[in-house]
Structure 1
Amino acid sequence: MSTNDSVYEALKKSKEPMKAGEISELTGIEKKEVDKAIKQLKQEDKITSPKRCYYSVNE
């Protein structure tokens, strides 16, 4: 599973928006890599940021 997929799945399973650091702890992926995945997923319009520094899956 790619980093993007792992980050997306973690956000999908979460009921609340999550910070990059929380995603990193949950997945075991370095925060720097999580940040890259978040940027990519936002460009693909798969995730959104309901408030600053928090991310959730587009429904």
Structure 2
Amino acid sequence: MDNIELVVKVLSESKEPLKSAEIAEKAGIDKKEVDKAIKKLKKEEKIESPKRCYYTIKK
């Protein structure tokens, strides 16, 4: 499973928005890799940010 899939999995399992550091901790990957994945997912409009620095799956 690549980093983007891990980020999506962690976010979809979470009931509340998460910070990138929390996503990195739960996915077991480096925060820099999470930030890259988040940037790509936001561009593809698969995730959203309900408040600054918190991310969740777009419904």
Question: Is this a same-fold pair by TM over 0.5?
Answer: yes
TM-score, L = length of structure 2: 0.98
Provide structure 2 residue ranges, at least 5 long, that are not aligned to the other structure: none
Q: How many residues align?
A: 59
TM-score, L = length of structure 1: 0.98
Provide structure 1 residue ranges, at least 5 long, that are not aligned to the other structure: none
- 1:7 Cα deviation (Å)? 0.2
What value does the CA root-mean-square deviation take over the aligned residues? Answer: 0.4
Give the distance between the partners of 2:9 and 2:46, measured in 1 at CA. 11
Residue in 2 that maps onto 1:16: 16
- 1:43 Cα deviation (Å)? 0.5
